[in-house]
Each structure stands twice: as structure tokens, then as C-alpha cells.
Structure 1
Amino acid sequence: MGAGEFSYRISISTLRVVFPLLFVLRLAKGQFRLFGAYHPVKAAPGDDVILPCHVEPKLNVAGMTVEWSRPDRCPDPKNCLSHDEYVHLYRHNSEVTEMKLPSYIGRTALFTDSLREGNISLRITNVTQEDEGRYRCFIPKLKSHLQSSVVHLIVGGSSERCRLIPVVVLCMFILLCIAVRGCLMTESLCQKAELKKLTI
């Protein structure tokens, strides 16, 4: 085998590896992905909460359908996409309320100005214990193998209790200061009394 034939075989086998690799990389570069929260989102009853979800790289999704649903409340576990009840449904540049779960009516909203940046995060107001669970954000026409993402919401504790904690801490600090000052004053009076005894 000559040197020319050897280099020809190397270049052909190299091309067989490089071309498919370049094709895959090009496809991957053009892929969009939907990302939610990496950790559960926590809220107290009565709070407003934001469930994060966005497209990367940034993509204007204002003209696309955006669906938020509750997969753990799916009537048919074998086909969760068959039901017509959503936490929030955005279609044709506006919210569709006809297919919305009754408990979420008037309580959810997208950040419509941010849709051009690929942000489809959902705001839920006045959360209750019944809102706890998994939420699925989904863009049906997104050209990606990651068209959806799941965000877990945990609702626990009382917002009133959370507001009271700083007040209780402050009261305890004031009482501690008063007690310390009282001890210092008592000690000072004792020292003065001892001095009087010594001088007599």
C-alpha cells in the first residue's frame, strides 16, 4: 500500500466520522429547550407565587400556544394530554378561560411582555394547600425534544406565622436588653452599698 493510498483511506474514514458529527452538532445548535425550576418552589397559603419556565436559547413565543397543566390531577393517567382542563392556557395571543380548571379562574397570569424573550413563567395568586403538586409547562409547537418541563410547588406554613417571627424575635431582644440593664443596675447599686460600708 502506497503512502498516497494510505492518506486517502485516512481522509475518507475521517470524513465518515466528521460529517455526521457536524450534522448532529448543527441540529443540536438549532434546538430549543424548555426549562423549569431545578428545585421545588415553596410558598405559604395566601402568598403569590411564580412558577418559572423559559425557552433556551431565547425565542419569541408570543404567537405560540402555551399550556400549563397539573399532570398529577390528570383524569386519564394513560393520556394526560386528552383532558381539556388547564391551569392556564394561552392561545392566539390571549388567555383561553373556557378550558380552565375552575379553582384557577382569575388567579393565574403569564408575563405577556416577557413572552418575546421565551419566558412562559406562571404567576398564581393567593395559593392554597390544594395548589400543591406538580405543574407542567408545555409549548406544543416548539421544535425540540424538550417541549415541556415540570415544576413542583410545595405549599406549607402560614404567611401570618412567617410575618410574626421577626416581631417575636424583636420582643425577645428588647426583653433581654431590659433584663441585662436591670442586672447591671442592681450590680451597680450593690457596689455602691459596699463602698459606703467600707468608708464608714
Structure 2
Amino acid sequence: MDVEELSYSVSLAPVTLVVLVLLLGFTPVEGQSQVIGSLQPIVVSPGDDVILPCHVEPPLSVMGLTVEWSRPDLQRDPKDWLSRVEYVHLYRDNREVPDMKLSSFVRRTTLFPDGLRQGNISLKIMNVTLADEGRFQCFIPKLEGRVRSAFVHLVVEPNSAKNWTTETPIQPRSPQTPDLRGETDAKGGLSSRNRLSLVVVFCVFLTIMGVGVATYLTKKCQEKQFLQLFKEPTVEVL
């Protein structure tokens, strides 16, 4: 490789680096799970049962993890800074832990054991009261991901037209956090959107490489022709 070829290779290095960065940016990263709640408030009437939707994307089993449901807006006693944290519902070591539960929610909340295997951590609250209205937080402390908690706003309205009583978990798609199903399919592969993006990036890479090679060959051809024009004619000796 001569000096010109070396210079040409060096000049393409930044372009190649940019393309590689783009390709890596579209590669799915394992362990990027997210907890997703609901941006839309859940409206229910007093006395009804309600399910606060919350789940993990992409789906994975959370049977062995800790799941915390709490009321972050509840005010603590300002005179008792050492008061313990109390939960709406606490799931730990594959079972509910009632010892640290808010008294107003005793025997009124439950998770869905079968749903935990698919990452469903929705909370069912029975016999809703006006005092239940407010913001709830679902949190998985040891989840390996970017977003480990989400919020659900519960609105309790007498004679509400909306009745969220159900025996099955509700898992709406929420724009609260990025939807990883747009990034990967259920098996962890690239979605059709990202496949198209990779094709576009690859075509751009080929175009850049093609232009670079064509420019190099054109330059070499012009230099060859230039040298031929100024080449000294040979003198024939008789």
C-alpha cells in the first residue's frame, strides 16, 4: 500500500466509524426492561373493584423479584421522621408481605400470580373508597432496566360511568415510557421498523464506500494520464 492509498484509507475511517455507531445504535440491548403504567387516569365508583394496570416490557417473569405498590403523595407525620415506610401492597420472596402494609388496604389488594410470570404487576383493589383516590406507584427495585417504576392515577367518582371492575389484568399500551416492542420483537430480535432502518443505514454505507472508491479510481486515472503527457519521449539510437 502506497502513501496515497494509506491517506485514502485514513480519510474513510471517520465515515466508517459513524456508520458503525449508527448500526450499534439500532442493536437491541439485553436487560433494558421497563415498567409501564398508564398516563390515562383510571376512573371508578365507590364500592367497585378496580385494577391499576402496570407491567414490564418486554415481558419477563418477576416471580423472584420484589414488587412494591405505594402512595408517594401521602404525607408522613412531620414529627416522626423515623416512621417506617408503608405500602399499598408489598410482594417479596414469592409472597405478599402484610406487615408493612397501610391499614386502609389490609385484605383489599392482590396481584395476579399467573400474570407475574409474564411481567404483569397490575394491582387489584377491592371495595374502592373515596380515600383511595390519588397517585399510585408500582416499583421493582431490582429490575435490570432503564425504568423500574411507573405511576397510575386513580380517580374515584360517585356514579361514574366508567367501571374498571374485571377479573383479568388490564395492560394498555402507555406512552409514559418508550415502548420496547417498537425496538424488539417478542423473541428479542429486531422489529420490522428497525430492520428497515438497518437496510437504509447499510445502503448509505454502500453508497459512501462506492463514492469513495470511484473518487479514488478517478484520481489514480487522472494522475496516470498526467504523467503520460509529460513523459519524456525516448530517443531512438541508430
Q: Could you tell me the TM-score, scaled by structure 2's length?
A: 0.59
In structure 2, what is the Cα distance between the partners aligned to 1:27 and 1:72?
Answer: 36
How many residue pairs match? The answer is 157
What is the aligned-residue identity percentage? 52
Larger proportion of helix: 1
The two structures, once aligned, show a CA RMSD in angstroms of 2.6
Aligned ranges 1:48-67 → 2 under 5 Å: 48-67=49-68
CA separation of 1:27 and 1:141: change in aligned 2, threshold 3 A: farther
Question: Partner residue of 1:125?
Answer: 126
Q: Which amino acid aligns with 1:151?
A: V
Superposed CA offset, 1:156-188 (max 9, x none) = 0137x999xxxxxxxxxxxxxxxxxxxxxxxxx
Unaligned runs of 5+ in 2: 164-238
In structure 1, what is the Cα distance between the partners aligned to 2:75 and 2:56?
Answer: 25
Question: Partner residue of 1:157?
Answer: 158
Q: Which amino acid aligns with 1:43?
A: V
In structure 1, what is the Cα distance between the partners aligned to 2:156 and 2:31?
Answer: 37
CA separation of 1:129 and 1:114: change in aligned 2, threshold 3 A: same
Superposed CA offset, 1:28-54 (max 9, x none) = 454111100120000000000000000
> In 2, are the aligned partners of 1:75 and 1:83 still within 8 Å (CA)?
no
Higher relative contact order (CA 8 A, sep 6+): 2
Q: Which amino acid aligns with 1:75?
A: R
Aligned ranges 1:38-57 → 2 under 5 Å: 38-57=39-58
CA separation of 1:162 and 1:117: change in aligned 2, threshold 3 A: closer
Greater Cα shift, 29-38 or 147-156: 29-38
Q: Could you tell me the TM-score, scaled by structure 1's length?
A: 0.70
In structure 2, what is the Cα distance between the partners aligned to 1:151 and 1:17?
Answer: 40
User: Do residues 95 (structure 1) and 79 (structure 2) align?
Assistant: no
> In 2, are the aligned partners of 1:76 and 1:83 still within 8 Å (CA)?
no
In structure 2, what is the Cα distance between the partners aligned to 1:136 and 1:149?
Answer: 6
> In 2, are the aligned partners of 1:68 and 1:135 still within 8 Å (CA)?
yes
Unaligned runs of 5+ in 1: 164-200
In structure 1, what is the Cα distance between the partners aligned to 2:21 and 2:103?
Answer: 50
Question: Partner residue of 1:71?
Answer: 72
CA separation of 1:156 and 1:61: change in aligned 2, threshold 3 A: same
